[in-house]
Amino acid sequence: MTRKIYLTLLILFFAVLLPGSSHAADRLKLSSTTSTDNTGLLAYILPIFEEKTGIRVDVIAVGTGRALKLAENGDVDVTLVHAPAKERSFMFAGYGVNRRPVMANYFIIVGPGDDPAGIAGAGNAVEAFMMIREAQAPFISRGDESGTHTRELAIWKAADSNPGGARWYLETGKGMGESLAMADEKRGYTLSDQGSFLKYSDKVELAALFTGRSKLLYNPYSIIAVNPSRHPHVNYAGAIKLIEFMTSPEGQKLIGDFTDGSGNVLFEPLVIKIPSNAQ
């Protein structure tokens, strides 16, 4: 009697769960970074792709480190990330195929308007980081293996220093928005991608203190399909369609047209040059 009841319950349990497992081929899972999602770029572009192809894109927005991990485990079909060094080892290990550059912007160093470390006068990003270290001014680090964190560590390395553990160096383990808010509260400095800062700048009193189009601050985004020979279940056809769209003249123009409220371009398309004075 009791056994029968339990058996019925078990069947009921799976009856509830199974509908969710019907995986339609016209769904595509994209792991991406908070910088592309929180700025609204994906919400602006993807509906157009969905309308054109009938493929519904599910965005999972995390840091680049986790976005690549999800792709490595085959939990998503395609990934859009911004950490070239990590992407290269990802490709080298055979986890991804068809890596294509999509767009880029620049990292900027932001901090309190009065700039206690005086980095506004720095010659380059490495010098600016050294000045922050000299001044022992609070520095907010993402500390989360994201693309921005990876780049921040690369700049510290170029500055020949390892600030981990220092009192003025605060690792938040949080997203860009929260880290900017924390820098604002602590009157500290942080490295941010341009897009996130522009989107967030009306909420904080931070200023973009050091900007420059140098190689060390260059922030390119790539799209990578998960290797279908490693994960046969992935929606590879859908992934290729999305890669094609993002790198097509249409997709590239959409990226170039995407601005924040005050008309600033957040991401520059990389594949197709769009003249800035185009009428």
Partner 1 sequence: MEYLIGALTEALKLIISLDSEVLSIAFLSLKVAGTATLLAAIFGIPLAYTIATRDFPGRGAVLTFFNTLMALPTVLVGLLGYSFLSRKGPLGFLDLLFTPSGIIIGDLILAFPLIVALTVAAVSSVDERARITAMNLGASRLQVTLTVLMEARYALTAAVINGFGRVIAEVGSAMMLGGNIRGYTRTMTTAIALETSKGEFSLAMALGLLLLALALSINLLFRRFQRVSTQ
Binding site for partner 1 (CB under 8 A): 2, 5, 9, 12-13, 16-21, 23, 29, 34, 38, 43, 58-61, 73-75, 174-175, 177-178, 180-181, 199-200, 203-204, 231, 233
Rounded Cα distance, 182 and 190, in Å? 9
Give me the least distance between CB of 206 and partner 1, in Å please.
Answer: 12
Give me the least distance between CB of 177 and partner 1, in Å please.
Answer: 5
Please identify, using beta-carbon distances, which residue of 23 and 213 lies nearer to partner 1.
Answer: 23
| DSSP code string of 55-114 | PEEEEEEE-HHHHHHHHHTTSSSEEEE--HHHHHHHHHTTSEEEEEEEEEEEEEEEEETT
Q: Which residues share a beta bridge with 31?
A: 60, 79
Please identify, using beta-carbon distances, which residue of 100 and 230 lies nearer to partner 1.
Answer: 230
The greatest distance separating any two alpha carbons of the chain, rounded to the nearest whole angstrom, comes to 81
Overall size of the chain counted in residues: 279
Give me the least distance between CB of 195 and partner 1, in Å please.
Answer: 12
Give me the least distance between CB of 38 and partner 1, in Å please.
Answer: 5
Please identify, using beta-carbon distances, which residue of 29 and 151 lies nearer to partner 1.
Answer: 29
User: Does residue 222 contact residue 33 with C-beta atoms inside 8 Å?
Assistant: no
Three-state DSSP at 117 gives: coil
Give me the least distance between CB of 71 and partner 1, in Å please.
Answer: 10
Give me the least distance between CB of 131 and partner 1, in Å please.
Answer: 27
Please identify, using beta-carbon distances, which residue of 48 and 166 lies nearer to partner 1.
Answer: 48
Please identify, using beta-carbon distances, which residue of 34 and 150 lies nearer to partner 1.
Answer: 34
Taking CA atoms, 255 is separated from 42, 48, 193, 237, in Å, by 9, 12, 16, 23
Please identify, using beta-carbon distances, which residue of 11 and 166 lies nearer to partner 1.
Answer: 11
DSSP H helical ranges for the chain: 2-17, 34-38, 41-53, 64-72, 84-92, 125-135, 147-158, 176-186, 194-200, 236-246, 249-257
